[in-house]
Structure 1
Amino acid sequence: MFRKVSANHPLVYFFLAFITMAGLSYINFLPGMVNALAGSIGFSDAQAGQLVALNGYGGLLGSTVAIFLVRRMPWQSAMYTFLALLAVVDIGTLWIETYSVMLGWRFLAGLFGGLCVGIGFSVLARLNNADRAFGTLLLIQFSLGAVVIYLLPALETLLSAYAVFYVMAGFALLSLIMMLFLPSLASERKPVKQSLLLTELNGNAVLLMLAITAYQLAASAIWTYVGRIGLGAGISTDNVSLYIAITGLLGLLGAMLPVISGNRFGRLSWVLAGVALSSISALLLSVSPLTPLLYVTSMTLLFFSWPAVQSYLLAVTADMDVTGRLSALAAVVSSVGLATGPLLASGLLDNGNFSVMLYACALVFFSCLFLLFKPVQAQERTKTGVLPPHYQPNTKDPI
């Protein structure tokens, strides 16, 4: 009834990226979700932040469990199950009014969503072009995030204050439909230099996981409060929403870099430039007085850099371990950063003053330069056939 798409078809990259995004889609429009929870739904600002954080830690648990599932059960059966459960939980949120019940309910949503994300990462990592796969994922995340943030006020008027949860459930249901057209994708990538990548680069893998965690932590901290920063600078609510939506769309250029260029020109220079621009973005937001021009410029730099840096780092992860398990681990550490960023930011606020938080984020971005340099450089040398001097090839290596 449903015609399967061939394994190398561009639609496979799009469908898989969309399905992976749907697991924790709220992250793409986090300010809109926080505004809804702390606005018409009736929770306080602190409660809204705690609900978002617990949703994120549920995702962390789900992504962790996915590491052990990816090689023990068919990924498609698991994805069908968890997407359906996620849609049910998101829709069920509409009838929950008690804060304590909502905490547990959103943690459950995060659990099912994290399972989808972890499994999705492992499958994306097994596609032939990892740069295109993860670039497509970030492209979808930023484009849909900008569109949803722009449309949420109208959707809330049309539906209710819970419109954001309708959107999240809709993404899960649409993902179920996309699953029907995907091939099995059992193991499409050949295990190139597997023994080298799994033994010689263990230390580099740790550094790379730390870099992904740190970058996501700083970026999500700014992302959580970027709307409040604009309001604190005297920019109107309507203009803040418009600026976030527009700069989010401009950030699609960063997401398109890995999709268009892939690994043809190397990854190291792109990643270093992106992290440096992210650090500059945090510093620009701390300038007082913050003008609309500085506000828009800083967000443009961050939203351009964020998808490019993450997709390239995830592509490096995919090349380090062709089984996909390291990519599932990357989903876990990414969730750690995304869930911890808002908590860190909230702890560094000082009566509406965001300067300390922004300086801390700039410092975290700067530390990423040292964490990622060695693993990305080593992976590029391996790709080009320049092996580490201590590497001794053996006959078991399929090279």
Structure 2
Amino acid sequence: MTDAARAPGRTWRAPPDSLIASVMLAFLATAGLFYVNIMAAIVTGLIDALGVSEQEAGFVASANMYGAAVGALCAVALVRFVPWRPFALGALVLIIGIDVASTFLRDLQTLIAVRAVHGFIGGALVGVSYGIFSRTKSPDRVFGMLLVVQFGLGGLGTMLLPRLVPVFGTAALFYALAAFSLAALLMLPFLSDYPLEDRQQKDRNRPRIQFGPLGATLAAVFLFQLANMALAAYVIELGRRNGLTTDFASAAVGASSWVSIIGAVLVVALGVRMGRWRPLLIGMALAVVGTFAFHWSADPIAYIAANCITGSAWAFIIAYLLGMAAEFDRSGRTAAAAGFISKMGLASGPFIAGVLLETTNYDVLINAATLALALSALAMLWPALLSDRRLKESAQ
């Protein structure tokens, strides 16, 4: 029975565990963090439009992400108590306003401060949204849909925005972010209520949180996001430094984002029918190989292949990692904590990469990212095996 059937005369709302609800939840969570999916376009756009260095552009990106990490940390405490729908409404209105205001900023220090505030609000919104994900029947699938939306629209933005910046300046970047948040705002009234009490009643007999496996899961999330974003933020610059044109590099990165949807779709289709350990192991192996392949970025085919492999693995792996974190506590606290750790990794990636590139080169950055991915794979093995064991026990 749908919500609309239970409340005649009220605005239609999507059934809480339906595909359309997953899409709208994905838009809600993406709105607070969409800049991550067009990060390469933003970094390149800031370099071209404002004439800042690679390091300075990376600091703007990191300010947005560190602000988001603080906001996500606050969401860990908020998610059990805050009325999530009014909270989401206020957050969306605020980040739209900040994105519009950002189009008028030219001073680097002011822009860094404003983007940090934007990140804080958006990060809190994402953390609360992740908490709502944990109240669905299959958080992995909702996270998979989240990645479908992010990579699909992120690919379009990465392809188009670097070409628009020379004409419209940084306004093209920030108006694109505002437009996405507006779309999420328009969907908000059609989401179900997702009451905490219903999910708590269903999970009353679940064991208490196992902090050891949870800690390993969060470590895997941090290292994975750090490694991927360290390269993703500079991937267009990497192509340009290897002799590729801006148009080719941005088109290749954008197109690979669409190819990457395959990874997210697989999560939506598979759920946890194969468990988590095997899919994660396969995905991590592909991520390591694809990242190391960026050493051959001077070859256009190798550059495209590396982007496609790493993007698909990214979408596939992070959905399972976040879904696994959500399983530790269906009230939403561990999902929100994973959101915080994820943003810390995403924020640290461009910052560390910017520092490395001041003193070394892209070969060192690629090697460091590959090592971080290998360490993430080691961290996720134990909790994934325990998760699969619990899934088998619950199926018996």
| TM superposition score normalised by structure 1 | 0.92
Q: 2:301 aligns with which of 293, 297, 301?
A: 293
Q: 1:68 aligns with which of 51, 61, 77?
A: 77
Q: Is the 8 A contact 2:44 2:237 kept in 1?
A: no
Tell me which residue corresponds to 1:371.
379
2:327 counterpart of 1:319? yes
| Secondary structure of the structure 2 residue equivalent to 1:198 | coil
Cα deviation code 1:265-293 (max 9, x no counterpart): 21211111111111111211124x73112
2:267 counterpart of 1:268? no
Q: Is the 8 A contact 2:44 2:162 kept in 1?
A: no
Q: CA deviation at 1:232?
A: 1.8
2:102 counterpart of 1:93? yes
Cα deviation code 1:340-370 (max 9, x no counterpart): 0111222222667211111111111111121
Question: Using the alignment, how far apart are the partners of 2:318 and 2:201 within structure 1?
Answer: 23
- Aligned residues: percent identity? 29
Of the structure 1 ranges 39-48 and 269-278, higher mean CA displacement relative to structure 2 is found in: 39-48
Tell me which residue corresponds to 2:93.
84
| Secondary structure of the structure 1 residue equivalent to 2:274 | coil
Of the structure 1 ranges 352-361 and 302-311, higher mean CA displacement relative to structure 2 is found in: 352-361
| Secondary structure of the structure 2 residue equivalent to 1:348 | helix
2:149 counterpart of 1:145? no
Question: Using the alignment, how far apart are the partners of 2:54 and 2:368 within structure 1?
Answer: 22
**Equivalent residue letter for 1:345:** A
| Secondary structure of the structure 1 residue equivalent to 2:195 | coil
Question: Using the alignment, how far apart are the partners of 1:374 and 1:46 within structure 2?
Answer: 37
Q: Is the 8 A contact 1:19 1:175 kept in 2?
A: yes
Question: Using the alignment, how far apart are the partners of 2:24 and 2:374 within structure 1?
Answer: 34
Q: Is the 8 A contact 1:132 1:258 kept in 2?
A: yes
Distance 1:245 1:274, change over 3 A: same
Distance 1:212 1:192, change over 3 A: farther
Cα deviation code 1:129-153 (max 9, x no counterpart): 1121000011111111101111214
Cα deviation code 1:223-276 (max 9, x no counterpart): 012112211221122111111111111111111111011111212111111111
Tell me which residue corresponds to 1:394.
none
Tell me which residue corresponds to 2:25.
16
| Secondary structure of the structure 2 residue equivalent to 1:349 | helix
Map 1:208-227 onto structure 2 (within 5 A): 208-227=217-236
Question: Using the alignment, how far apart are the partners of 2:245 and 2:52 within structure 1?
Answer: 23
Higher helix proportion: 2
Question: Using the alignment, how far apart are the partners of 2:201 and 2:305 within structure 1?
Answer: 43
Q: CA deviation at 1:98?
A: 2.1
Of the structure 1 ranges 5-14 and 335-344, higher mean CA displacement relative to structure 2 is found in: 5-14
Question: Using the alignment, how far apart are the partners of 2:336 and 2:162 within structure 1?
Answer: 35
Tell me which residue corresponds to 1:30.
39
| Secondary structure of the structure 1 residue equivalent to 2:11 | coil
| Secondary structure of the structure 1 residue equivalent to 2:272 | coil
Q: Is the 8 A contact 2:294 2:302 kept in 1?
A: yes
**Equivalent residue letter for 2:80:** R
5+ residue gaps, structure 1: 388-398
Question: Using the alignment, how far apart are the partners of 2:167 and 2:189 within structure 1?
Answer: 31
Q: Is the 8 A contact 1:20 1:120 kept in 2?
A: yes
Tell me which residue corresponds to 2:340.
332
Tell me which residue corresponds to 1:259.
268
Question: Using the alignment, how far apart are the partners of 1:353 and 1:155 within structure 2?
Answer: 28
Tell me which residue corresponds to 1:198.
208
Distance 1:157 1:369, change over 3 A: closer
Q: 1:49 aligns with which of 47, 55, 58?
A: 58
Question: Using the alignment, how far apart are the partners of 1:101 and 1:370 within structure 2?
Answer: 40
Cα deviation code 1:44-92 (max 9, x no counterpart): 3332211111111110111011111111221111111111111111111
Q: 2:12 aligns with which of 3, 20, 25?
A: 3
Of the structure 1 ranges 315-324 and 37-46, higher mean CA displacement relative to structure 2 is found in: 37-46
Question: Using the alignment, how far apart are the partners of 1:11 and 1:292 within structure 2?
Answer: 38
Question: Using the alignment, how far apart are the partners of 1:228 and 1:94 within structure 2?
Answer: 23
5+ residue gaps, structure 2: 1-9
**Equivalent residue letter for 1:357:** L
Q: How many residues align?
A: 386
Cα deviation code 1:304-324 (max 9, x no counterpart): 100110001111112111111
Tell me which residue corresponds to 1:240.
249
Q: Is the 8 A contact 2:15 2:192 kept in 1?
A: yes
Distance 1:280 1:269, change over 3 A: same
Question: Using the alignment, how far apart are the partners of 1:14 and 1:342 within structure 2?
Answer: 29
RMSD: 2.0
| Secondary structure of the structure 1 residue equivalent to 2:145 | helix
Map 1:178-197 onto structure 2 (within 5 A): 178-187=187-196, 189=199, 197=207
Cα deviation code 1:106-141 (max 9, x no counterpart): 111111111111111110111111121000011111
Question: Using the alignment, how far apart are the partners of 1:353 and 1:28 within structure 2?
Answer: 24
Q: Is the 8 A contact 2:144 2:316 kept in 1?
A: yes
Tell me which residue corresponds to 1:161.
170
Q: CA deviation at 1:97?
A: 2.3
